[in-house]
Structure 1
Amino acid sequence: MSSTKSERAVFPFTAIVGQEEMKLALLLNVIDPKIGGVMIMGDRGTGKSTTVRALVDLLPEIEVVANDPFNSDPNNPQFMSNEVRDMIEKKQDIPVVKTKISMVDLPLGATEDRVCGTIDLEKALTEGVKAFEPGLLAKANRGILYVDEVNLLDDHLVDVLLDAAASGWNTVEREGISISHPARFILIGSGNPEEGELRPQLLDRFGMHAKVTTVKDPELRVQIVDQRSKFEEDPESFRQSYETSQQNLSQQIKESRDRLSKIAISHEDRLRISQVCAELDVDGLRGDIVTHRAAKALAALKNRLQVTPKDIFIVMPLCLRHRLRKDPLESIDSGLLVQEKFSQIFGLIS
């Protein structure tokens, strides 16, 4: 987990004080990327981007095809570019290297060409080859795509990102020439609600919605300031003091991923989840699906093979609060509404 001198030192994930909801949502998405990403909304200066970068630092290395711009998985056709597939079909040797999972930052002013990639039409027409310049979605394949201030991003670009995140593929078309490549990534967006909300249909496409607030407890605030000061004074020794906890959490993530396929959730609990979604008037079935996945990921994280009602109680507000229809006269937090409905249907959780 230690960073080399040439790298920018990353604040350790296990050293982050508070913001448990955000940290849990990020961990669950890493355990099961099919949850569909996280939208983190909250005040400025609450550690949103620090926490996302800290998460990436925890993740294990992955095998990729050497010199491949799409981080192709040498063992899984779903994560392979067409060129790598062709090499395998021709029984050519595939050079493989190990690398850290990448995190790609999407700048606010990015154009669609920068995000999706471009086709060199002149080269395609004169030389008869599909000359493709990969974009940020290619770099993000099998990694994390982080969009800060996602609520300020052009709606069309948000649509492009969400379509790629949902399908796992990015397709670029120009003058009858079409190129596709794998783009399977965990989409993490963050923003400040004071600067504008996302459209409900876009919010719905994020698997989970975590709220972060400024810490009010003076003791915790002092602890956070102290942690930051120590880190800035000597990043390496600060990171070393968290080396063991970082390694333990990294191992826990790896074991949770391996355990995920064995996790069971009872038919009765699945029915109750759907009953909560129906009675809260949640549109579509994404809420049901994401709640199932998140509850299983939490059980895996807790080293269990069976989902409990408490797992569902913990993840449900994160999975449903952004899917509820907004009532302008309603002052109660939507996460509390979800918990109230849960308690009616599941009964009280000890």
Structure 2
Amino acid sequence: MALRMKSPIGARAGSRPASVRVAGVMPLRAVAPSMATVAKRMSVQVRVAAADAPSAAQQKLMASLNAARPVYPFTAIVGQEEMKLALILNVIDPKIGGVMVMGDRGTGKSTTIRALADLLPEMNVVWKDPFNSDPNDPELMSSEVRERLKSGEVLKTGTMKIPMVDLPLGATEDRVCGTIDIEKALTEGVKAFEPGLLAKANRGILYVDEVNLLDDHLVDVLLDSAASGWNTVEREGISISHPARFILVGSGNPEEGELRPQLLDRFGMHAQIGTVREPKLRVQIVTERQKFDENPTDFRESVKDGQIALTDRIVAARVLLKKIEVDYEQRVKISQICSELNVDGIRGDIVTNRAAKAIAAFEGRSEVTPEDIYRVIPLCLRHRLRKDPLAQIDDGERVREVFKKVFDLE
């Protein structure tokens, strides 16, 4: 097979190749390379490419470098069962209303909450939508996505990890809720909205560390959005609303002060954690943490099966939750407990019913038992008993005593 070189510009087809003349040098002719030369060059290129191909160790290193910051596995966290249970129940039923976690410094509050977000499965979203709209649920769609659907547009979808948004203590209301560009709205007639942290947290987890040090006004804004599932921003007569359905998780140290009772009541559940005192358990925690710090990838791989099993269990509980009902007699007794404890409002009743259903679903049962209620009712009511802002939150013993009395378990 003959190789032909393309004729140079200005040369006629079929004419001899043009010569290149250089002063004092013999004229050179453009000669096509032979097949042997081409084959030799190709073999050299293949060898170079093979030499450049990364080894298995290099590929593993590249994967580690490209991965996100490693998160400590949820199933590897030792102790703190009360906090872990409250978080899992809120994931199963986000309408419980969030968790307030109070405990000593260095007890793993932030680590556990971040591990929970890493544990959860990916969710379907509308592609490049800043509000993480659900393509299948109109209640979780932004106004823009709804309009696109009404116009007959076929939405492009994708998947993403459950968002975990940290709210810093110095955040302003505009940073939390979002801002409207008034100048652009007046000059161009369009609603130019810059989404805030509430938009990013939609369908995810919004975590506020040291929430007891956050400005009360911002805490009120967060709780309003968490309760209603929507965030509304109004500036100069322009109003924009978007879905903001998230699990609100706050943490704090009791030594730095408590939230006002009015704000505490807005959190669905309250978990108390303390420092582990058992020496052997402390050694186990330190050992596990050292293993993770030395090689996060291998440590996460060692608990991968447990992580997958817990994720599957949560997904199954979400499906089963819709089929569970609390018996009427049990609902009456729950309300009787709330009444005898002098709990203000009916949030305590609602949250206890939801939490009891969630724990039954987590256990894989279709009926709520008194034991389910006993396990969750202290978490749902203890922070609603404090009338005096300076008083300490009950550890749950009062709630358990009244429960035993009402359910005749003494």
| TM range, smaller chain | over 0.9
Q: 1:327 Cα deviation (Å)?
A: 6.5
Instruction: Name the residue aligned to 1:107.
Output: 168
Gaps of 5+ in 1: none
Residue equivalent to 2:300? 239
* Partner residue of 1:61 out of 122, 127, 136: 122
Shift of 1:167: 0.6
User: How big is the shift at 1:265?
Assistant: 1.4
Give the structure 2 partner of residue 213 of structure 1: 274
TM-score relative to the length of structure 2: 0.83
SS of equivalent to 1:262: coil
Q: Secondary structure at the match of 2:67?
A: coil
2:199 to 121, 138, 142: 138
Q: Which of 361, 365, 369 matches 1:304?
A: 365
Larger RCO (CA within 8 A; separation ≥ 6): 1
Q: Structure 1 residues 347, 112: closer, same or farther in 2, change over 3 A?
A: same
CA distance in 1, matches of 2:388, 2:64: 48
Tell me what 2:386 maps to.
325
| 1:254 and 2:315 matched | yes
User: Does structure 1 residue 314 correspond to structure 2 residue 375?
Assistant: yes
> Which residue number corresponds to residue 356 of structure 2?
295
Provide runs of 4+ in structure 1 moved above 2 Å: 2-6, 325-334
Contact persistence 2:386–2:392 (CA under 8 A): no
SS at match of 1:114: helix
The answer to whether the 8 Å contact 1:282/1:325 transfers is no
Q: Equivalents in 1 of 2:285, 2:409: separation in Å?
A: 34
Q: How far is 1:93 from its partner?
A: 1.7
CA contact (8 A) 2:225 2:245 kept: yes
Q: Report what 1:7 is aligned to.
A: 68
Q: Which amino acid aligns with 2:98?
A: G
Amino acid paired to 1:143: G
Number of aligned positions between the proteins: 348
- CA apart distance, 1:328: 9.2
Name the counterpart of 1:48: 109
Q: Does 1:148 align with 2:209?
A: yes
Q: Matches of 1:86 and 1:332 in 2, distance apart?
A: 47
- What letter matches 1:201 in structure 2? Q
Letter of the 1:293 partner, please give it: R
- For residue 253 of structure 2, what is the aligned residue in structure 1? 192
Report the equivalent of 1:181: 242
Q: 2:86 aligns with which of 9, 25, 28?
A: 25
Give 1:27 deviation, angstroms.
0.2
Deviation at 1:283, TM superposition (A): 0.2
What secondary structure sits across from 2:241 in the alignment? strand
Partner of 2:264: 203
Task: Indicate the structure (1 or 2) with the bigger Cα radius of gyration.
Answer: 2
> Is 1:279 aligned with 2:335?
no
How big is the shift at 1:72? 0.4
Q: How has the CA–CA distance of structure 1 residues 337 and 4 changed in structure 2, closer, same or farther, with 3 Å as cutoff?
A: farther
- Contact conserved, 1:3 with 1:9, CA < 8 A, in 2? no
Contact 1:56 1:102 in 2 (8 A): yes
RMSD: 1.6
Aligned partner of residue 188 in structure 1, secondary structure: strand
Is residue 2:402 matched to residue 1:341? yes
* Structure 1 residue 6: Cα displacement: 2.5
Match of 1:129 in 2: 190
1:70 to 131, 143, 151: 131
Q: Which stretch shows the higher mean deviation, 321-330 or 81-90?
A: 321-330
Determine what percentage of the aligned residue pairs are the same residue.
71
Q: Would the aligned equivalents of 2:360 and 2:372 in 1 still touch at CA under 8 Å?
A: yes
Measure, in 2, the Cα distance between the counterparts of 1:330 and 1:49. Answer: 26
Structure 2 residues without counterparts, runs of 5 or longer = 1-62
Do the aligned partners of 2:102 and 2:272 also contact (CA within 8 Å) in 1?
Answer: yes
| Alignment-mate amino acid for residue 106 of structure 1 | L
